[in-house]
Amino acid sequence: MADFLAARERMVERQIAARGISGGRILDAFRAVPREQFVPEHVQEFAYEDSPLPIEADQTISQPYIVALMLEAAELEGSDKVLEVGAGSGYAAAILSQIVDEVIAIERQPELAQLAGNRMASLGYENVSIYEGDGSRGFPEKGPFEAIIVSASGSHVPEILLQQLTVGGRLLMPVGEPHEVQKLLKVVRTGDDEYEQEELGAVRFVPLIGAHAWNEQGRPSDPCPLPDLIRDAAEPLPDFDDPAFGALFDRFADARVVLLGEASHGTSEFYRARAAISKRLIEEHGFNIVAVEADWPDAASIDRYVRGRQGREGEEAPFQRFPTWMWRNTDVDAFVRWMKRHNDACGQEEMAGFYGLDLYNLGGSIRAVIDYLDDVDPEAASVARERYGCLQPYAKNPQGYGRMAMTRGFAQCEQPVVQMLRELLQKRYEYVGEDGDEYLDAAANARLVKNAEAYYRVMYHGAAESWNLRDTHMFETLCQLLEAKGPESKAIVWAHNSHIGNAAATEMGQIRDELNIGQLCKDRFKHEARLIGFGTHTGTVAAATDWDDPMEVKKVRPSLAGSYERMSHDSGVERFLLDLREGQNEQLSQALLEPRLERFIGVIYRPMTERWSHYAQAVLPQQFDAWVWFDETKAVTPLPGPQLPGEDETYPFGL
């Protein structure tokens, strides 16, 4: 006959204590609970093996160490009331009964719930209550709980469970695909709507089946169901050429800044939608700035065309460097030509301009500042040539300056470019008299050179620092445009969702310490900044596999189960607008508050790795004021012409 007492002691010492579990009450609880009583008779001899074991209803009992790991991470106190989701045989609930005052355990399998209840009664665990039901819903009637232990893996951490924690309460739950390696998460409720999350390592659990987890087919369920709420709130979008399309966005026209996103840099519907919205805001609501995620010198060439200003002698054609298709495509071309026709019918003060916010074209900006000063102040131009001479060797390879600065340990060119911008700003009133637009252009280019010097200098110190410098530069450039155009000016921004959605509501801000132009606009302009995100389920996209690789038309994989994109697809509405502003569609907004995956495709798209390379967690109604959806999309059509090598993009996927 097996010596279960000795085997239990060996289990505690070798499998649990030896792996770092040191809590005395936890170790004593494992010594006190007879695991052999929680498995079928034919496997009792293996009860203290270092592995999961099969139990009734084709389920398993977890490896003892994993149970101990979760209980230690839960930081249990004797007075706690604990909810266990997925009671199974009742073993973990029995362990818990030795540590805390009260245990509520839920099991969806009737057979297991009955067996576990019988064991609690026969073994005398009077502070444990076993219930049959959907554990993914929790047990609100019995809450709140100081701790929730979920003994099965879900597609996400359900918001309904988090709401049943006390402030300071801890939730432990595996999250990941069924039958795959999952990650064990610890979530601590730090305030009414504030949580901190920690990842504790890789685990394998059976799937959690329920309304807030997986369904029987291994697909995410939804409590609302969320696709139905989206369907009810969705406002179908007409054709792009229908005036009703743009009119749907009149509700945002009271803003000072409307930021229009995109889920990729190579999707035609995103460009066409932004064009239709922008036309409406310009024609009907007085918006006079279109500021895009493009380099200032390239966009300035377009601006001179659309506002009928004289081009510069010897100026390069814009947007020739990788990725050319991002701006040299038929959709942007059509919008630029529309701007030209619109402005031709306006007075100078009513014209809308086209401006770049980004900072990559270092060489073009240096040339633009010197060319401007050659016209208005030849002596200052000579000084500029000398100061910018420090950066000139790196104009074609600016990342080389970053490597040099890191190696030498100092910023060789910082002081000259800062001084150049300072003096240009000091002479503002002297220069503006010559031509205000040309001065604005020169000042923006000087600011770009200063910020680009810092950008390439910090790019080797970490993605967050360089990303933040870049988006801060874009925000500052936008603010300078609004100031230069006067208090009545209003701007439309075209940029990727990763730039215009509030970073504080995504992994960018919560984990990587990154900010973006959307967050900065919200902080400064509050409700006068409206952030509109875009999404798609499948179709084609123009993208490259790696930086400077040729453009390809790639198939976009169907969106991942449980993602915001999949919820939008499952609504069954092909094209729609969701208004996520406060006070609008409150039931939907509440349902969307549960963090979900969201897809980000830049100029780089790698379908084979897209879960890790193109998805991040976000909270959609805190990220955007509105969500524009096109279920199936197609790639942009590039304009003909050669493509020159681009400057290295530091953000991994070319956003």
Catalytic positions: 62
Q: What distances in angstroms separate CA 414 from CA 443, 449, 605, one per listed residue?
A: 17, 10, 35
Contact by Cβ (8 Å): 560, 566: yes
Token reading at 516: 């973006």
Q: 40 preceded by cis ω (within 30°)?
A: no
Q: What distances in angstroms separate CA 293 from CA 237, 492, 563, 620, one per listed residue?
A: 25, 11, 26, 22
| Closest C-alpha to 485, from 304, 351, 335 | 351
Alpha-carbon torsion (202, 206, 212, 214), positive or negative: positive
| Closest C-alpha to 175, from 194, 158, 196 | 158
Please report which helix (H) or strand (E) contains residue 568, including its range.
helix 564-570
Task: Find all residues with CB under 8 Å of 109, minimum gap 6, and list them.
Answer: 56, 57, 59, 132
Task: Find all residues with CB under 8 Å of 294, minimum gap 6, and list them.
Answer: 319, 326, 327, 356, 357, 358
Task: Find all residues with CB under 8 Å of 562, minimum gap 6, and list them.
Answer: 155, 156, 220, 596, 597
Q: Where are the alpha helices (DSSP H) in 353-462?
A: 362-376, 378-388, 398-408, 414-426, 428-432, 436-458
Contact by Cβ (8 Å): 147, 171: yes
Terminal Cα-to-Cα distance of the chain (whole angstroms): 66
Sequence letter at residue 415? Q
Please report which helix (H) or strand (E) contains residue 299, including its range.
helix 296-306
DSSP-assigned letter for residue 125: -
Question: How many CB atoms neighbour CB 603 within 10 A?
Answer: 25
SS (H, E, C) 617-637: EECHHHHCCEEEEEEEECECC
Question: How many CB atoms neighbour CB 560 within 10 A?
Answer: 20
Alpha carbon of residue 120 to chain centroid: 45
| Closest C-alpha to 127, from 73, 161, 62, 82 | 82
CA quadruple 304, 328, 532, 614: dihedral, nearest 10:
-140
Ramachandran class of 32: left when φ > 0, alpha when ψ lies in -120 to 50, beta otherwise: alpha
How far is it, in rounded angstroms, from Cα 37 to Cα 34?
6
How far is it, in rounded angstroms, from Cα 46 to Cα 51?
9
How far is it, in rounded angstroms, from Cα 116 to Cα 89?
5
How far is it, in rounded angstroms, from Cα 480 to Cα 111?
68
